[in-house]
């Protein structure tokens, strides 16, 4: 060993031990990620191997180098499987971990993201969304845990795409963790470059709450899906605000980590849901959870069930084990009436296994990705075009389709189907169908400050979750609006709907005032010893945290929807106000380069200090986005901002736009340009 290497060993204190852990067996029945494909040059492969070896002491390099190289060639990534802790990883009660409270709370969330019952591909650290990882490899996981165990209240751990950069001096009201995922300089911010960066071990696709360490299982999206489907029925079908979806048929695809929320959500909304899924293991997971009522691979049987439950006006969730294209074409050919249509295949990773093309099985698709990725791409493109044409025929018959922000319409366009573009040429004017944010989530929820607030009871006790449910209900006045009424109903029926998978968590759509009120109440309950500590947060899919032209900011029409200022402002503002965990990531549910998204976690320890953070940070986390939406001239956001200005006239002020009379500007522009 050289003198330099000896000196380095002497100054490294937080490191992996020099003992080689035993090789691990993969348990049967646990889903595995597909190979991501080996796409590196010899020079890049050398870098990738060196990058992985720098996590382990030098005396282990000789044995690990060939092993890591084999992982890289066969899986397209180096995961360091040998370093995964033995047995099941899950979010244990907070007192089972080492460290200060905030650090222990974050360990609960990290381990929940890797639970066999929660994660999509737990051995590859993928929590959901086909590629969304907690971190890149198991060496990073172990080092993160080591840092969290020794962290003090005046230190901040910095995470760079899953890599723990170090523990730095800060202060008590600074974040304990600042994390970023997949941030790439503009010219290189594209899927092809990212794939190489990920293979070399220098960039992580954090999705949203995977790398954001706050996934709460599919419950996290059930509520948003419930609100979306319910309001789609109200908007497109004229269902009254106090009505539900009795007799309404909703057809979509996907039963994975996020899409698996669809059957449960449509049942809660009172409708008939038919969800196609090619991977039987994902169907089995939803059956085991009680989130799917019926299953068949027989399209005729599916149609009979639709007719039966429509006549009975009863809710039911049906899993079709097969391809969504085949389902849609059957519905079209047999004139089965379907009112609502969407899609939740993982099209942000459309050529990496997120979309299985029609005509081949799930297993055949996985083999093709590894052996012949070009052929797989050709089949995907052809299938996307068939998919589009089937949807077009159904919407021509009166069905209503919306893009679920999964890059489905963008993928169809990129597959060569120009008819999906509004102008039939490019995407500058959008697509022929709306995203769910444009028509539903944006104006109804985000513009009014409503979004997916969530919490985890860190004690792991069911009784603590019941107490927080009741406390949250007491903070909601269901007479204020349909949103308040829907959310009151949601939380009132949450336990009976068996939503918990993993930690004792809950999600609830709430506005700025509601979030602060609920958080302050929870912190008071912790202070009084009525419940154990709680960590609050939100999905990144929210009012302020995400800039995404195809999704969260799809209803921004002032030309700024492709800018990323809002999400960065939100991230920086939450750092400044002392959230426990603050995260900023590239991509989210729509793919690298298509979104900038951020989130937070705040540990409620019962202190007055945390009360102050709640009042400042939770208000900012919502109203920063409302301010941007108001400036974009969104009517509901303008109303929300105006009301906030009136309530907070001694504390702050949101800049309000002046609006010219209708037609005034159009007349001037047309006159000048016509000349």
pLDDT score of 222: 86
Query: Are the beta carbons of 115 and 58 closer than 8 angstroms?
Result: no
Strands (E), 138-204: 155-160, 163-169, 177-181
Q: What is the CATH number of domain 219-434?
A: 3.40.50.10730
Q: What pLDDT does 112 receive?
A: 98
Report the alpha-carbon distance of residue 205 to residue 404 in Å, rounded: 20
DSSP bridge pairs for 456? 505, 535
Euclidean distance between the first and final Cα of the chain, in Å?
A: 79
pLDDT given at position 420:
96
431 pairs with which residues across the strands?
Answer: 421
Dihedral angle over CA of 589, 590, 595, 599, nearest 10: 0
Question: What is the rounded CA–CA span in Å between residue 597 and residue 208?
Answer: 7
Q: Domain 442-637 belongs to what topology?
A: Urocanase fold (3.40.1770)
For residue 445, what is the enclosing H or E element? none
> Is the torsion defined by CA of 13, 18, 21, 23 positive or negative?
positive
> Residue 342 burial by CB count (10 A; 0-12/13-18/19+): exposed, middle or buried?
buried
> What are the domain boundaries of the chain?
17-117+135-166+186-199, 219-434, 442-637
Q: What digits encode the pLDDT tens for the residues 21-80?
A: 999 999 999 999 999 999 999 999 999 999 999 999 999 999 999 999 999 999 999 999
Burial group, residue 603, by CB count within 10 angstroms (0-12, 13-18, 19+):
buried
Q: Same CATH fold, 442-637 and 219-434?
A: no
pLDDT at 503: 97
C-alpha distances in angstroms, 413 versus 194, 409, 410, 416, 563? Answer: 21, 6, 5, 5, 22
Query: Which parts are annotated binding residues for NAD(+)?
Result: 207, 277, 282, 404, 589
Residues 6+ apart with CB under 8 A from 572: none
The segments of the chain whose pLDDT lies below 70 read 1-12, 257
143-178 burial: b if 16+ Cβ within 10 Å, else e:
bbbbbbeebeeebbbbbbbbbbeebeebeeebbbbb
pLDDT at 260: 81
pTM of the model: 0.90
Q: Phi and psi for 661 in degrees, rounded to 5?
A: -60, 150
Closest CA to 613 of 175, 179, 101, 158: 175
- Provide Rg for the chain, Cα atoms: 25
pLDDT of residue 405: 77
Which residue ranges are tagged as binding site?
207, 277, 282, 404, 589
Distance CA(310)–CA(338), nearest Å, equals 11
Please tell me the predicted confidence (pLDDT) of residue 529. Answer: 98
> How open is the CA angle 55-60-63, to the nearest 5 degrees?
115
Q: What is the DSSP letter of 347?
A: G
Query: Residue 218's pLDDT is what?
Result: 81
Residue 531 phi/psi, 5-degree rounding, is: -140, 165
The CA–CA distances, whole Å, from 467 to 28, 106, 219, 225, 521 equal 38, 22, 18, 25, 11
Bridge partners for 372 per DSSP: none
């Amino acid at each position: 060993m050289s003198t330099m290497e000896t000196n380095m060993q002497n100054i490294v204190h937080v490191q992996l031990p020099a003992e080689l852990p035993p090789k691990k067996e993969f348990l049967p029945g646990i889903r595995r990620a597909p190979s991501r494909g080996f796409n590196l040059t010899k020079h890049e492969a050398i870098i990738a191997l060196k990058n992985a070896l720098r996590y382990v002491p030098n005396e282990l390099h000789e044995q690990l180098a060939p092993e890591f190289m084999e992982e890289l060639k066969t899986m397209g990534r180096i995961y360091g499987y040998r370093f995964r802790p033995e047995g099941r990883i899950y979010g244990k009660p907070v007192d089972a971990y080492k460290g200060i409270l905030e650090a222990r709370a974050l360990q609960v969330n990290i381990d929940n993201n890797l639970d066999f019952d929660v994660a999509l591909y737990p051995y590859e650290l993928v929590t959901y969304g086909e590629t969304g990882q907690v971190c890149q490899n198991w060496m990073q996981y172990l080092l993160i845990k080591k840092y969290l165990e020794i962290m003090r209240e005046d230190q901040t751990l910095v995470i760079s795409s899953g890599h723990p950069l170090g523990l730095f001096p800060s202060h008590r009201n600074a974040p304990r963790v600042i994390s970023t995922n997949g941030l790439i300089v503009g010219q290189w911010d594209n899927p092809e470059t990212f794939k190489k960066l990920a293979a070399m071990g220098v960039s992580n696709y954090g999705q949203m709450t995977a790398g954001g360490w706050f996934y709460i299982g599919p419950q996290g999206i059930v509520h948003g899906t419930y609100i979306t489907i319910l309001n789609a029925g109200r908007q497109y079908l004229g269902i009254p605000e106090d009505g539900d979806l009795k007799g309404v048929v909703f057809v979509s695809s996907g039963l994975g980590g996020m899409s698996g929320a669809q059957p449960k959500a449509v049942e809660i909304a009172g409708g008939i849901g038919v969800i196609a899924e090619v991977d039987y293991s994902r169907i089995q997971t939803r059956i085991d959870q009680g989130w799917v009522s019926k299953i068949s691979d027989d399209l005729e049987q599916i149609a009979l069930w639709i007719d039966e439950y429509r006549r009975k006006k009863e809710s039911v969730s049906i899993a079709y084990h097969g391809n969504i294209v085949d389902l849609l074409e059957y519905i079209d050919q047999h004139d089965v009436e379907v009112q609502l249509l969407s899609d939740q295949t993982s099209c942000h990773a459309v050529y990496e296994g997120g979309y299985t093309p029609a005509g081949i099985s799930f297993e055949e698709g996985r083999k093709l990705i590894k052996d012949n990725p070009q052929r797989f791409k050709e089949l995907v493109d052809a299938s996307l075009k068939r998919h589009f044409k089937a949807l077009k025929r159904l919407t021509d018959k009166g069905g209503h389709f919306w893009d679920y922000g999964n890059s489905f319409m963008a993928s169809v366009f990129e597959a060569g189907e120009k008819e999906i573009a509004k102008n039939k040429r490019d995407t500058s004017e959008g697509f022929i169908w709306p995203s769910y944010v444009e028509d539903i989530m944006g104006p109804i929820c985000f513009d009014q400050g409503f979004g997916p607030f969530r919490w985890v009871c860190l004690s792991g006790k069911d009784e603590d979750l019941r107490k927080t449910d009741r406390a949250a209900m007491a903070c909601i006045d269901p007479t204020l609006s349909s949103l308040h009424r829907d959310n009151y109903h949601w939380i009132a029926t949450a336990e009976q709907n068996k939503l918990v998978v993993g930690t004792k968590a809950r999600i609830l759509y709430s506005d700025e005032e509601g979030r602060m009120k609920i958080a302050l109440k929870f912190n008071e309950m912790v202070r009084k010893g009525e419940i154990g500590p709680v960590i609050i947060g939100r999905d990144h899919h929210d009012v302020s945290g995400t800039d995404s032209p195809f999704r969260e900011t799809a209803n921004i029409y002032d030309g700024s929807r492709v800018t990323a200022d809002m999400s960065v402002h939100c991230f920086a503002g939450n750092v400044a106000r002392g959230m426990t965990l603050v995260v900023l990531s590239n991509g989210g549910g729509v793919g690298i380069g298509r979104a900038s998204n951020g989130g937070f976690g705040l540990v409620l320890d019962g202190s007055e200090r945390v009360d102050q953070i709640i009042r400042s940070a939770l208000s900012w986390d919502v109203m920063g986005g409302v301010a941007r939406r108001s400036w974009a001239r969104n009517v509901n956001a303008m109303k929300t901002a105006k009301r906030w200005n009136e309530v907070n006239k001694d504390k702050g002020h949101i800049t309000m736009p002046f609006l010219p009379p209708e037609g005034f500007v159009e007349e001037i522009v047309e006159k000048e340009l016509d000349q």
